[in-house]
Amino acid sequence: MEGLIGKKIGMTQVYDADGKRTCVTVIECGPCPVVQLKTLERDGYVAAQVGFGDQKAKRLAKAQQKHFEKAGVGTKKVLKEFALDEGETLEVGKEVTVSNFDGVKYVDVTGVTKGKGFAGVLKKWGFAGGNMTHGGHSKRRTGGLAARDLPGWIEKGKKMPGDMGDVNRKAMNLEVVAIRPDDNAILVKGSVPGARNGIVIVRKSLKNNAIAAKAKKGAK
């Protein structure tokens, strides 16, 4: 399957056989039960809808509760669809584990970044600011906003103060350092978006995995 839903646990470091240290992010990935299957005949595409994270049934609408009851799985916090590999078959109610990434060298991880609240232009956009002298009056101000002549309004896309963070971001081509099925965990090199315990989407990196497979085939 193309990917799985997971939860960011945090960062740590691991050592390889040569004693080299690598900083990794630990992601609890699955197990994700299959809630619904999309077929080419009925839906026009082939995919599997999976769930992650236990949720109290009373917090969901009746229609959502029935959706899980029909699949024979417990209610979940997050639902996500993933494309299936060619020739892959799954059954509704079956759990997909982190072993789904066996043999995968690189992954893309999508998450919601930490919210920073309201921020000025220096913090949000990296503006230089004005002179920090005793008589300066533009130390951390935005500066000029619009043209004096026509058009006298602020142009669309102008960098302004505002909310910072809390947006979807994707970290691409992260190297898979280790997969630990007993802990439902995958260790990836480097950092991923979001705070600890935040929900993330882990997908197989199509480009780099294809390159790695081609290189491996050429080596043989």
What per-residue confidence (pLDDT) applies to 145?
A: 85
The pLDDT tens digits for 188-211 are 999 999 999 999 999 999 877 666
Q: How confident is the model at residue 155 (pLDDT cuts 50, 70, 90)?
A: confident
d(CA 126, CA 216): 43
What per-residue confidence (pLDDT) applies to 209?
A: 64
Domain borders along the chain are 3-113+167-219, 115-165
Does the global pTM surpass 0.85?
no
Q: What percent of the chain has pLDDT over 90?
A: 73
Superfamily covering domain 3-113+167-219: Translation factors (2.40.30.10)
The pLDDT tens digits for 53-72 are 999 999 999 999 999 999 99
d(CA 54, CA 197): 14
